[in-house]
Structure 1
Amino acid sequence: MSRDMNSIRYNQNIVNPKSGGGITAMLAITNGTIIDGLGGDPRTAMTLLIEDERITALGRQGEIAIPRGTQVIDAMGGSILPGLIDTHVHFTLEYPDVLRGLLTPPSLRLLQTIPRMRATLDAGVTTVRDAGGAPAGLKMAVEQGIIPGPRMQVAISLISQTGGHGDGFYPCCADIGFFGISFTDMPNGVADGIDEVRKAVREILRAGADWIKLATTGGVLSTSDAPTSSQLTVEEIATAVYEAAAQEKRCMAHAQGTQGIKNALQAGVASIEHGVYLTNELIDMMLSQETYLVPTLIAPISVVQFSQAHPDLLPPMMATKAVGVIEAHKKSFRMAVEAGVKIAMGTDSGVGRHGENGKELQLMAEKPSARLKLVNSPM
């Protein structure tokens, strides 16, 4: 039912006030099963009344008076739940196709985000954190009602050491930037040493970032490193954390290998992205610091599927690395869940197709009986 809930926003009779329209509307969704996202039991045969994009009444069937002229949607027993949050997407990417990226003008790349954001809304995701590649203007366009999309927080650029996961230098000696993305309002994130990291953080924050993202390990989709390699020193990461905190912002770390995860935790990042090679020591650190894990279990699987469908479009070493991390990734996630680490859903959409966010939830809760608990867990 979340798909239908999000489609409501685009009904011609319901206009977002920020888009400049003046039409208001009443909407009633009847015969629905409410999942409140707070851990309570599902409530069946419920009616939800919405006015001007706000829920104004909620009650059992027959208890809510529906005003004349209200648009009514029969949920037919389907589930109605709050919008989902995806804490790791890349709207300016879709699949790791380097050649296509080289042939895509920046203006077209921005326009390509429009159907991707709509697909994300249609998947029931109403808030995202874009983990790199989206300039602040994209977020502003959504906020101003220029284009439809989920609420956004943006990291804009990825801070990476020279030769690191976010360095766009390829073996042919071409520097194509962060996965081929180049916008004038997207600062270069390649930085070495404390002073360069400090300046990079300040430039990215000046560009409108809500989060600072750091690559503290190698990754699957970088050409010159391994997921287990450690990148950036503790001091460099700590400098970024300090500068972000000074502007009341936090840091997220692309961190797959053990040492790079440890360095990021020692420096005080707020979230670990991927966390492929966790250990009991690292899990204890995450618990004591209340650090979130954003597992993105679907990401390496998407890379493998893309390489199988298009073997000529993905460098072989990337497919090999993706295959190599999948089982360790699953094991680390299970360890973190069993230990009680805070988990946030993130898909790394852009590595795979946008609008398939629910696949991550399926991987996070392998047993169907666990899926209700997953979507109904309070923060």
Structure 2
Amino acid sequence: MSKTLFTNLNLFDGVHNKISRNLWMLVNNNTGKIEDFGSDNEPFADKTVNLHGKYIMPGIVNVHTHVSIDPRTPDGDGNADIVTSTVRAVKHLHQLLKSGVTYVRGCGCNHEMLDITLNKLQREGRLTKVPRMVPCGKPMTMTGGHGILFGGGDEVDSPDEMRKAVRTNFANGAKCTKVMATGGVMSVNDNMTQPQLKVPEMKVAVEETHSKGFVVAAHAEANPGIMNAIKAGVDSIEHCFYLTSQEIQMMLNKKIYLTPTLIALWTIIVHGDELPKWELNKALDCMHHGFDSIHRAYKAGIPLTFGTDSGCPYDGFTNSAIEFQLMVDKIGMTNFDALETSRNSAKLLKLKDYGTLQKGKYADFLVLNHDPLQNVKAVQQADKAVYQHGKREY
């Protein structure tokens, strides 16, 4: 049984709001899991890696990505052929891992089987140096609804059609469900206040998905779509830019997670002169209301997850860690609470062996020059080392 001993490290374990200093960590190379920590009496190992006083933290779990679409365009280039889409999806997955994201949930690709196939290849060892994946396959939307822009949505217009579509999606290899409860910023023919899938349709998606032991994410930016998603019993609501006090309480009562995707708004604003005016105006309105809504949700105790919506306009795959900075600067979160959103992402996805660095968990971790609890910008370090299951990938 081969083991690696990592020495001279400072640990942020993702659980406690502190740095444990001058430790060693022992990893079982056969399982990829952490066997022990300590500060003296270093155990025997086949290999020793001296981290020279650097800081380690858990790999990031990102629950909102679109790896096949092009962030350099206003519309994601959703009509690209499958070869083009696959090539850039693989590139984006490499970029995500190098940025520190070791696990992702897909929230829609422009070809229905793309993320499912990439996940299969990664599990079989034929696609390497990429995050592990939770693919959603086809997002569920109404006829002409949000997501059709990307060429990857499954149009359903009744509870029965939803049941058939979700079951088919899982038969094809999906591991979660995405439903579109509202229009969105990138949809030219709708807006956030227009409800799309209705409560009975989304309830069926929840029922079928939960029967498989998986989770449902709802794209819901405004009302009445947010309320519809809450009533349907989804597990997480993505964006949530126009939350009411009543909805905050209902989300608390139902233990629904919120994925803010702040960077998706921020990048649109920064690159506003490169986008159609209608898209910029939507984003500006969302930003004004969204930061306040998410701040109130945070203060109320709704668990926030880490998700970047990467693939949206100018929201690339190399800068995921900026989301932590925006949580602190725009929402008023503490450094620890911002970093804990990645742990919440692992909880949402039921990844019990990921999200923290503890005995018995997988050794997915980042090596940083500076303390992330002192400054979350430390996670943005371009040349950080990235480990998965105890093996350095970048």
TM-score, with normalisation over the residues of structure 2? 0.78
Query: Would you say 1:321 and 2:282 are equivalent positions?
Result: yes
1:372 maps to which of 314, 333, 336 = 336
2:186 is the counterpart of 1:245: no
Q: Map 1:341-360 to 2 at 5 A.
A: 341-351=302-312, 352-360=315-323
Residue 155 of structure 1 pairs with residue 136 of structure 2: yes
Quick check: 1:278 aligned with 2:246? no
> Structure 1 residue 266 and structure 2 residue 231: aligned?
yes
Higher relative contact order (CA 8 A, sep 6+): 2
Q: Is the 8 A contact 1:57 1:64 kept in 2?
A: no
Task: Give, in whole Å, the separation in 2 of the partners of 1:209 and 1:93.
Answer: 18
Identity of aligned residues (%): 31
User: Partners in 2 of 1:243 and 1:41 — Cα distance?
Assistant: 41
Query: Residue 129 in 1 paired to residue 105 in 2?
Result: yes
Q: 1:19-168 to 2 correspondence within 5 Å?
A: 26-39=3-16, 41-52=18-29, 53-60=32-39, 62-65=40-43, 67=45, 70-74=47-51, 76-95=52-71, 97=73, 101=77, 104-133=80-109, 134-148=114-128, 149-168=130-149
TM-score, normalised to structure 1, is: 0.81
- Given residue 146 of structure 1, which amino acid in structure 2 is its aligned partner? R
Higher gyration radius (CA): 1
Point out where structure 2 has 5 or more consecutive residues left out of the alignment: 345-394
Q: Where does structure 1 lack aligned partners over 5 or more consecutive residues?
A: 1-23, 169-178, 182-187
Secondary structure of 1:141's counterpart equals: helix
Q: Secondary structure at the match of 2:77?
A: helix
SS of the residue 2:237 aligns to: strand
Residue 79 of structure 1: how far off its partner (Å): 1.5
Deviation at 1:96, TM superposition (A): 6.1
2:61 and 2:322 mapped to 1: Cα distance?
A: 14
Structure-to-structure mapping, 1:167-316, within 5 angstroms: 167-168=148-149, 179-180=150-151, 188-308=153-273, 311=274, 314-316=275-277
CA distance in structure 1 between the aligned counterparts of 2:327 and 2:36, rounded to whole angstroms = 33
Report how far residue 205 of structure 1 moved.
1.8
Specify whether residues 190 and 315 from structure 1 end up closer, same or farther in structure 2 by C-alpha distance, changes over 3 A only.
Answer: farther
Question: For each residue in 1:251-307, what CA deviation from the matched residue of structure 2 results, as whole angstroms up to 9, or x when unmatched?
Answer: 210000121000011111111000010010000110110000011111122223344
Deviation of the 1:159 alpha carbon: 1.1
SS of corresponding position for 2:6: strand
